[in-house]
Each structure stands twice: as C-alpha cells, then as structure tokens.
C-alpha cells in the first residue's frame, strides 16, 4: 500500500496538471479542492519543489506550478520520492537494493524471481502512467459518469 504522503502528492500533482500553463495555484486552493490537510500538503509540495517537479512563486499571484510538462512526470518518480523502493522485497529493488538476510543463493531463489517479475511489471506500469495520462483518463471517466 502506498503512503498517504504519496497519495496526497499524486492528487496535488494531478490538480496542478489539470491547470498546467495557467500559472501558480495557492496551497489553500489545492488543499480545499483535493481534500488534503493544508499543513501536510505544505510539506509535500516543498518536497516536490526540492525534487525539481514543482516550482513556486511568492507574493500576489503566487503559489505552486509544475516545472515539468505533465507527460514528463510519472507515478514511479512520485512513489520513489515519498515511499522509496517500489519493490516488495529489498533484493529486487533497483535503487535501494539490499540482500535478504536469510537468502542462501540469490541466483537460485524462486521467491526472488517471482517478486522480480512483479516489480518489473509494476515499474513498467508506473512509468507509463504520467500526470498527462491520469488527467486524460479522468476526463474519460467523467464523460462516462455523465452518460449514466
């Protein structure tokens, strides 16, 4: 399960992607419209800014905005930023590799192989899901809902 921090970050980023190119958005607006506690959101947005995904502007007309295009930000980046490794076992992670304490031989570990398949497929999916694809999917789902 992903952390609340990652979930809130994704919600805030999708909000910003919906309004990409329209200028900075106030933290209070994002918090209210996405139902995210503002103090928690401030920390999340600062982390996203420090990672280079967001920029901010102070003063009148200030707020946060995407520094990257929506198609350049994917779910994998966000999950790794807030939750670390995407893999379920430390021995199959890409950036956070650790050998399992009880492992006798990684090369013949069938458990490792199974979890490596899961990690590879998860990473593939998360890398293909960008802010742009999430916003586009949201529009399709809204259209379907209105037709009901």
The mean-pLDDT minimum among 33-42, 97-106, 135-144 falls in 97-106
Average pLDDT, the chain: 93
pLDDT in tens, 80-132: 999 999 999 989 987 788 888 888 888 899 999 999 999 999 999 999 999 99
Structural domain boundaries of the chain? Answer: 4-66, 74-129
Examine the pLDDT at 147 and tell me if it is beyond 90.
no
Please name which of 27, 28, 21 lies closest in space to residue 48, comparing C-alpha atoms.
27
**Coil, helix or strand for 55?**
strand
Return the sign of the alpha-carbon dihedral for residues 90, 46, 28, 33.
negative
Q: Tokens 């802010």 sit at which residue?
A: 131
Which fold, 4-66? Arc Repressor Mutant, subunit A (1.10.10)
How far, in Å, CA of 70 to CA of 78, rounded?
13
Cα 115 to Cα 71, 84, 87, 142: the distances in Å are 28, 17, 8, 35
pLDDT (average), residues 128-137: 97
pLDDT in tens, 17-36: 999 999 999 999 999 999 99
Question: What's the confidence (pLDDT) of residue 60?
Answer: 82
25: β partners: 64
Question: What's the confidence (pLDDT) of residue 127?
Answer: 96
How far, in Å, CA of 110 to CA of 38, rounded?
45
Number of H helices, E strands in the chain: 6, 2
- Whether pTM > 0.85 for this model: the answer is yes
């Amino acid at each position: 399960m992903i952390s609340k921090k990652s979930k809130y970050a994704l919600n805030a980023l999708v909000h910003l992607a919906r309004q990409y190119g329209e200028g900075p958005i106030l933290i209070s607006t994002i918090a209210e419209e996405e139902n995210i506690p503002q103090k928690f959101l401030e920390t999340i947005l600062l982390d996203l800014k420090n990672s280079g995904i967001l920029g901010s502007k102070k003063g009148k007309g200030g707020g946060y905005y995407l520094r990257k295009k929506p198609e350049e930000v994917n779910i994998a980046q966000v999950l790794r930023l807030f939750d670390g490794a995407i893999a379920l076992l430390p021995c199959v992670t890409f950036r956070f590799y650790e050998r399992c304490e009880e492992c006798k031989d990684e090369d013949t570990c069938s458990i490792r192989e199974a979890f490596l398949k899961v990690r590879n497929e998860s990473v593939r999916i998360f890398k293909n899901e960008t802010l742009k694809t999430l916003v586009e999917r949201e529009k399709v789902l809204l259209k379907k809902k209105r037709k009901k």
